[in-house]
Amino acid sequence: MAYLVAIVLGLAFGAADQFLGSRSITLGLWASTAAQVSAPWLVLPFLVGLTQQRSRRAATLGLAVSVAALVGYFAMTYSPLEIHPWSLHRFASGMVALTRGWYNPMYVLGGLITGPLFGLLGQRWRARRWWVSAVLVAGVLFLEPLVRWAAGRLMPPAPVWTVEVALGIIVGAIFVVAGSASRRVTPT
């Protein structure tokens, strides 16, 4: 059941991300920029891993949700909702072309690596309040705009990145409070 939930969640997340990004004409430039934010793609497998007690299962669920999110993203890109006429042949050839084009092979490889890793980090936080998990998750939110700026890939509008940094600070504070609270609890 956990795998089915992870797959459905991943498909919905990927499709929603693509759909949001394609609506910049009607919603404004922020929609396209928000859809390009990478951190949620790492937080998603972390959250799935957070539900697990065993590390191997957390890693495989992290992989499952990441792969499903990529499939959902690519499927939405080449769907009738994105003004592509529907036919199985057109859809299949479009999906293959999408996974091979632009930077997409790098994104697929990244998802195959980071999905299990962040799933495991979620489980490690759940099981041991492992500080590395907290630093990495808050760090991807807090530091992504800085990394994009250094690489020359920080897109406007700035409020999108301000929100991401603010979320990184909030998530970091939540980790600090939760980690401190768990240390104060003494085993009986």
64 vs 84 pLDDT, higher one: 64
Residue 99's pLDDT band, with cuts at 50, 70 and 90, is confident
pLDDT digits (tens, 9 = 90+) for 102-158: 778 898 899 999 999 999 999 999 999 999 999 999 999 999 999 999 999 999 999
Angstrom distance (rounded) from CA 48 to CA 55: 12
CB atoms within 10 A of CB 115: 31
For residue 184, what pLDDT band results from cuts at 50, 70 and 90? confident
89 has pLDDT over 90: no
User: What's the pLDDT at 84?
Assistant: 67
Per-residue model confidence (pLDDT) at position 188: 55
How high is the pLDDT of residue 186? Answer: 52
Over the range 4-16, which residues count as b (16 or more CB within 10 Å of their CB) and which as e? eebbebbbebbbe
Contacts of 101 (CB under 8 A, 6+ apart): none
pTM for this entry: 0.90
Please tell me what DSSP assigns to residue 54.
S
